[in-house]
């Protein structure tokens, strides 16, 4: 169960990021015909980011304890002390950014300011999401090197 949750949360996170990429690209030439699509995809981005938050949050609160102990006792304690701490707290800003995207993208077809705002918000979601994915990879690797060390009797 916990391994499934561990796999699902970066997948929903990536899908949310891809929705933000779509919104970003579509917003460049937003017009009457694309207004509905942008609205749907920005809602999709927000919904998927909340799903990521709920799945990752449940896993973090319920199952992360043993992994944390392995990381802190292993050769890469910064996997928790820096990367997990930063990831879990910066994600709280990312979830609000994604929640704001559908609000920013309202009436984008006839409003230059809304287009500009949407471009910035979607544009901020993408690198922040990538940073979350990267931090997750480092945390996973920190568990792995911790386990290798204990298997080697270190």
Binding region for other proteins (CB under 8 A): 29-33, 53, 57, 60-61, 81-82, 85-86, 88-90, 92-93, 95-97, 99-100, 103-104, 106-107, 109-114, 116-117, 120-121, 124, 128
Q: CB of 8: closest distance to other proteins in angstroms?
A: 19
DSSP state of 154: -
| Pick 77 or 154: Cβ nearer other proteins | 77
Q: CB of 112: closest distance to other proteins in angstroms?
A: 5
| Pick 18 or 109: Cβ nearer other proteins | 109
Q: CB of 148: closest distance to other proteins in angstroms?
A: 25
Contacts 24+ apart (CB under 8 A), 26-30: 27/105, 27/108, 27/115, 27/118, 27/119, 27/122, 28/119, 30/108, 30/109, 30/115, 30/118
Q: How far apart are CA 85 and CA 60, in angstroms?
A: 11
């Amino acid at each position: 169960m916990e391994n499934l949750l561990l796999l699902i949360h970066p997948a929903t996170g990536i899908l949310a990021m891809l929705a933000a990429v779509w919104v970003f690209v579509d917003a460049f030439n937003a017009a009457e015909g694309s207004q509905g699509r942008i609205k749907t995809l920005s809602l999709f981005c927000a919904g998927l980011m909340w799903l990521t938050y709920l799945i990752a949050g449940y896993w973090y609160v319920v199952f992360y304890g043993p992994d944390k102990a392995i990381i802190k006792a292993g050769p890469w304690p910064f996997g928790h002390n820096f990367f997990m701490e930063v990831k879990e707290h910066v994600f709280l800003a990312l979830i609000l950014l994604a929640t704001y995207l559908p609000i920013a993208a309202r009436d984008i077809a006839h409003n230059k300011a809304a287009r500009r705002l949407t471009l910035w918000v979607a544009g901020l979601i993408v690198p922040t999401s990538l940073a979350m994915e990267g931090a997750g990879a480092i945390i996973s690797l920190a568990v792995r090197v911790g386990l290798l060390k204990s298997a080697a009797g270190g």
